[in-house]
Amino acid sequence: MNQLFAAVLVLGLLAVPTNSPAQQSLDLGEYVVHYNALNTSLLPPQMTQVYGIQRSPNKAMLIITALKKEENSVTGTPVHADVTASAVNLSGQRRNIEMREISDLSGAVYYIGVLTVYNLESFKFTVNVKIDGLEELAVVKFSQQFFTQ
């Protein structure tokens, strides 16, 4: 039950404005990839406990989910993918982000990764998403500035 609760919270965070633009997505025709990055201090303590995430203003979490579009469905159906990610700050320091798949009994599938951030630090993220059953690789690129105080 806690995992379902946490899954709903994470998916909900994809659409909630934080210190980043809300509802960022890449449309791939019959699929869509949603992405977001936010300070882990904004996450509910119950969720960070369930997934072993350190709740801190100096930690950011990257959240990726891939959905197959379906008629008569607002959200679509979650699909599995191979997700890799990296971020480069304005000083040119590159950080590879270890992504892990989270899935639950309700069918939700998403990918999370955590990185250390400092106040006013900006990153250019590159996320490679290889959706199971889709030939081409989707590349998501976005920038994000973090506020830790």
Q: For the chain, where are the alpha helices, taking DSSP H only? A: 2-13, 45-51
pTM: 0.83
- CA pair distance 87, 6, nearest whole angstrom: 25
Residue 4: pLDDT over 70: no
pLDDT digits (tens, 9 = 90+) for 81-103: 999 999 999 999 999 999 999 98
Q: For residue 40, what is the DSSP state?
A: G
Given pLDDT bands bounded at 50, 70 and 90, which one contains residue 23?
Answer: low
- CA pair distance 62, 36, nearest whole angstrom: 6
Nearest in space to 66 (alpha carbons), one of 5, 132, 117, 1: 132
pLDDT digits (tens, 9 = 90+) for 58-86: 999 999 999 999 988 788 999 999 999 99
Give the architecture (CATH level 2) of 2-145: Sandwich (2.60)
Ranges of each domain in the chain: 2-145
Residue 35: pLDDT over 70: yes
- Tell me the three state secondary structure of residue 6: helix
- CA pair distance 54, 79, nearest whole angstrom: 27
